[in-house]
Amino acid sequence: MDKAIDLRSKCKHFRVLIIGRANAGKTTLLKRVCNSVEDPEIYSAKNEKIDVSIVEGSAERGSHDIENQLIFKSNPQFIFHDSRGFESGSVDETDKVKAFITKRAEGNSLAKQLHAIWYCLPTDTNRPLLKIDDKFFGTYGTGKVPVIAIFTKFDGLVNKAYTELVDNGLSEDEAEEKLTEKAEELLQTNFREPLSRATFPPSDYVQLDDMREPTTSCNELIEKTANALTDDTLKLLFVSVQQNNIDVCIRYAVDR
Ligand SMILES: Nc1nc2c(ncn2[C@@H]2O[C@H](COP(=O)(O)OP(=O)(O)OP(=O)(O)O)[C@@H](O)[C@H]2O)c(=O)[nH]1
Ligand SMILES: [Mg+2]
């Protein structure tokens, strides 16, 4: 306990970079993790609050500048960075992401360090892994910073599986019975297998059902992030910043 208090005096937050193409479900997920219906507040790298009403190009743009820090009032102990680079796929922007990871990964104080990366991959799409995803997992070593691959919109993949089964001649009842199995199979072949063969595979994988539904849980993401942290200090920090996922903290404490 003393260790946790000492740690919290040095660093009050856990810093996450969220990556993913446009429309991947990033903002919806962050809101859920922080139990917020409101958009986050945006702070510059120098911790100055950015008034989104006067920033050119609107709030959308401010939230996508990787250097900016997104903080939800409902859970200010999490600081998020959201990258635009993986949407446009332009070399410049992706280099920015790589430079950000390198700069924040090492030689920094605990407070400035990047502690984890959440890499969102929408599963309801016809283009599972893009070139940019191959590039990330093929060439971007992130050092000690764990990368959790998050398969978002699994509900959409289940719908796709249903359509595919019916198109292949199954009755609606038969398709209904087989759709979860089929969706899992699509996830395996289109996402998990290619990712696990990459030079720098993710530390872990999480699949998320419809995050727009208030009842869908994101506990698995919290648990897997805790497990992926190899450093005990960071694990303790992560557990100590949880306020909406208390059961994870309790389980972690009991396990210890
Ligand atoms: N079916 C389904 N739709 C979702 C889910 N999560 C988010 N959406 C919808 O997908 C759209 C994009 O969600 P956002 O959370 O804004 O995605 P984003 O990655 O932040 O998008 P950008 O900020 O534009 O890059 C919205 O219309 C959401 O309502 C999900 O789990 N399932
Ligand atoms: Mg967004």
CA of 254 to the centre of ligand 2 (A): 36
Nearest partner of 14 among 189, 214, 245, 176, judged by Cα: 245
pTM: 0.92
Based on DSSP, count helices (H) and strands (E) in the chain, helices before strands. 12, 7
What is the full per-residue pLDDT of the chain (256 aa) written as tens digits? Answer: 566 667 767 788 999 999 999 899 999 999 999 999 999 999 999 999 988 776 555 555 667 789 999 999 999 999 999 986 676 656 667 788 899 999 998 667 888 999 999 999 999 998 899 988 998 999 988 888 999 999 999 999 999 999 999 999 999 999 999 999 999 999 999 999 999 999 999 999 999 999 999 888 889 999 999 999 988 888 888 888 876 666 666 666 556 5
Predicted confidence at residue 231, as pLDDT, reads: 86
- In angstroms, what is the span from residue 29 Cα to ligand 1's centroid? 8
The rounded Å distance from CA 25 to ligand 2 centre is: 7
How much of the chain is helix, strand and coil, in % rounded to 5?
A: 45, 15, 40
Q: What is the pLDDT of residue 70?
A: 96
3-class DSSP state of 216: coil
Ligand whose nearest atom lies closest to the CA of 33: 1
Note the ligand closest to the C-alpha atom of 86: 1
